[in-house]
Amino acid sequence: MRFIAILAAMGLAFQLSPAAQKGAKPHPNPATPAGQTHQNDAAGLEAGRINRLAFHPSTPNIMYAGASSGGVFRSANGGDSWVLSSSGITDPQIGGLLVLPTNPSVVLACTPSGIFRSANDGRGWTRVLAVERDLPPPDAPHPLFELQKSPVRYDGAANALYAAPWGAGLFKSTDAGLTWTKIYGGDLRDAKDRVILDIEFSAENGGTVFITTPGGIKKYQRC
């Protein structure tokens, strides 16, 4: 009788629907040795918080990662392995990272202290814009430190670059990032209005640049 009961229990287990077994935890894959990851698992870089990834437009296996306090890393094999690629970068707090679509050898990194440019696939960097770090006052109404970002974007319609080092306003470049002009934030006294979190573009009325700040959404007409 005990043997029959065991067989009956086994038959009940096989008859359970997928919905009934949904809460069951999967067993480890016996083909995967302990301590190893599956081939399709995330691999490679463990450098703290990564703020931005940027890909080569025609060779996606070449990619870059900007760490919050570790600089720029480069991978040539789709992220399976990484090398530190920050020679010349004096501020390792990478908030924005961009591969120039019209010239992929040019890579831009935006930090709270300015913008760094590489003309040789990230192997060497030069600071092309320096800004003073304007920290918010202790009584600032917004926790600005927690929002710290430094975006950089390419506007294909205008063939221009826009970047916003944290707390310094908005800058524009029309020569592939070699020189930069401040176009927003120079006369603003409130830190929360100079902190730009994101940059986006619209084709409305010949082209508008939208920026988001802790104080709201602003827009800048393309020149």
Q: What are the sequence ranges of the domains in the chain?
A: 50-221
| Cα–Cα distance, 91 to 222 (Å, whole number) | 30
Q: How confident is the model at residue 5 (pLDDT cuts 50, 70, 90)?
A: very low
How confident is the model at residue 212, as a pLDDT?
Answer: 86
- Six-digit token string for 190: 């409130």
Residue 20, pLDDT score: 37
pLDDT at 14 over 50: no
Range of lowest pLDDT (38-52, 142-156, 182-196, 207-221): 38-52
Beta bridge partners of 172: 162, 181
Q: What is the pLDDT of residue 208?
A: 84
Q: What is the mean pLDDT of residues 139-156?
A: 71
Q: What is the CATH number of domain 50-221?
A: 2.130.10.10
The pTM (predicted TM-score) of the whole model is 0.73
Output the CA angle 148-86-46, nearest 5 degrees: 70
For residue 114, what pLDDT is reported? Answer: 94
Closest by Cα among 122, 44, 126 to 85: 122
